[in-house]
Structure 1
Amino acid sequence: MAVFGKLKISILTVTMTTLVGCATVADVAGYNTAALNEDAAKSYSQVVSKASSQGAVDRTSSTAVRVNRVFNRLRPYADRANATSVPLDWQLTVIRSSELNAWAMPGGKMVVYTGIVEKLNLNDAEIAAIIGHEMTHALQEHSKKDAGQKILTGLALQLGGAAIQSKTGLSADSIGMLSDLGIDKPFSRSQESQADAGGLHLMSQAGYNPEAAISVWKKMEAVNGRSNAVVTLMSTHPNSQQRINKIQALLPEVTPIYQAAAKAPNGK
């Protein structure tokens, strides 16, 4: 454990001395907001086109209607929260699949799979928790920050890898694994927590009870059984109980927002 701890500190030290800001590094390397959004739009079009050719794009089922209704109700609040340098062209496609998943690309291109709604028997507020979470990934430009982080991590390994290998005898693959566990994955877990928090604010502003975010993860926990230390260490996502604890801590902050929205003339 002592060797592993020292290696982690060495990698982090090199990275931090180089660090100016992950998003700034991404900009310099050509991963700027406009370029990422444009590339994502092309990739998204290909994904939707392929799903359409397979008859998997769902526009008419009750699930698709509900998902789009929730999406459209959240969208104005997501637009208000946009602090990126360009407007987001929000698009959502519902794809019929058993997969328990939803995702967002840079620029606001989103997919929700019917499996996550139907297998978890989600109500509208729970759908809002998932959509708000994914919207926050786009609003916070997490893909752009990931690009910058990977550039910095690669540079750190180039600068420090040879010295670490000479002192420890570890292979380059071992050092790469340590970097993944010590830098990249905790960074991604922090993004997931940030997306949870942003999603709570969006759904509350739209008049959806933020407590529904807790029930989503309880349902996910029941299906996946992911709440154990080994899985958490190796995963880019916090385990379900960790997420629930953090969401519960944020409820006093977002519940008044929800209550005010629910009392508004058009609140639901």
Structure 2
Amino acid sequence: MSPVESLPPPVSDSCATTCWCGSAHAGARHSLWQARRAFLQLGGSTVAAAAVPAWAQVQVGEASRLRHLVPAEDLEQAANQQYAQLIQQAQSKGALVAPNDPQTQRLHRIAKALIPHTYAWNERARNWQWAVALIRSDDVNAFCMPGGKIAFFTGIIQKLQLTDDEIAMVMGHEMAHALREHSREQLAKNSATSLGISLGAQLLGLGDVGNYAARLGGQLLSLRFSRNDESDADLVGLEIAARAGYNPQAAVALWEKMGNATGNNANGLSFLSTHPSGPERIRELQRNVPSVQGLYQAARRSR
């Protein structure tokens, strides 16, 4: 039996690879003119960004166009490799919780409920090879890497005594980071800075941000997202979980628990090093709970 349960996507129509420029093609290399054309279009509507679904109940902006500087396929491949290494290390240390363990099954059940509601936020998610693992560790942490690779540490479930609704809020939040491609955007910014070139110069064919960023897959678990990214993930995750039938009020309870944990003892709270808690975060969630309450109620009725 595989130590990690993969959650296969539904069969979908085949499509051409989407390049960082926003066009679909089958591996053709771009000419310098095409790169310049992409640069001129970056600020305009001709470069496609991940659109907010028309029916979305939460108010978030379009995903950053900067992410197009890093090929999604390359980043997802790097994430797959890093995730496989992490799982292998956990297994070799006896820290990987078995797939038939009740807590692992609990995570699988929640993930399967959430995943169908991710596709509208990122079409690529339909073809992701979703996977969920539970790692035995006292760290209070969880993540979802590009391409849908999810891991929870037992510490976040046990120390915070998370309910199913609260786990769904954590998982939805982490899924949202992957769906909104925050890692892809952050690596594009970091890579351009490290190379000492401008983003515009890369698009003009004068730099190598895409290839450089693809080699930075090892940084995926240490990236720090902006406050805007965190707010974005909070709200998108809130809606995904509500549509799956999980109580949106749990998002407020979750962050209250996080805040209390910070006040008492921050040791081992890895999640909070990259997801700081605070009153404004809780207030923003409280303001948005009513907007998705109807989705939650409808989902509960349809069960």
**TM-score (normalised: structure 2):** 0.63
Partner of 1:230 in structure 2?
Answer: none
Distance 2:165 2:183 in 1: 26
Asked if 1:256 is matched to 2:294, the reply is: yes
Q: Is the 8 A contact 1:102 1:113 kept in 2?
A: yes
Q: Deviations over 1:158-180 (max 9, x none)?
A: 78xxxxxxxxxxxxxxxxxxxxx
Q: Is the 8 A contact 2:129 2:147 kept in 1?
A: yes
1:47 pairs with 61, 83, 86, which one? 86
Q: CA deviation at 1:224?
A: 1.2
Matched ranges for 1:84-99 at <5 A: 84=124, 87-99=127-139
Please, which runs of 5 or more residues in structure 2 have no aligned partner?
1-39, 44-62, 199-222, 265-272
Q: CA deviation at 1:81?
A: 3.0
Distance 1:89 1:23 in 2: 24
Amino acid in structure 1 at the alignment position of 2:159: K
Q: Is the 8 A contact 2:258 2:277 kept in 1?
A: no
Which aligned runs of 4 or more in structure 1 are off by greater than 6 angstroms? none
**TM-score (normalised: structure 1):** 0.71
Distance 2:136 2:67 in 1: 34
Amino acid in structure 1 at the alignment position of 2:135: I
The 1:254–1:26 alpha-carbon spacing in structure 2 relative to 1, beyond 3 Å, is: closer
Asked if 1:130 is matched to 2:176, the reply is: no
Query: What secondary structure, in the 3-state scheme, does the structure 1 residue paired with 2:288 have?
Result: helix
Matched ranges for 1:194-209 at <5 A: 194-209=232-247
1:246 pairs with 270, 284, 303, which one? 284
Asked if 1:82 is matched to 2:122, the reply is: yes
Please, which runs of 5 or more residues in structure 1 have no aligned partner?
1-17, 160-183, 227-234
Amino acid in structure 2 at the alignment position of 1:56: A
Matched ranges for 1:105-116 at <5 A: 105-116=145-156
Distance 1:86 1:208 in 2: 22
Partner of 1:67 in structure 2?
Answer: 107
Partner of 1:223 in structure 2?
Answer: 261
Q: Deviations over 1:112-161 (max 9, x none)?
A: 11110111111100000000001101101111010122245557x778xx
Q: Is the 8 A contact 1:81 1:139 kept in 2?
A: yes
Select the structure that is richer in helix. Answer: 1
Partner of 1:193 in structure 2?
Answer: 231
Q: CA deviation at 1:80?
A: 3.9
Matched ranges for 1:116-195 at <5 A: 116-153=156-193, 188-195=226-233
Q: Percent identity?
A: 38
Distance 1:86 1:205 in 2: 17
Q: CA deviation at 1:239?
A: 2.8
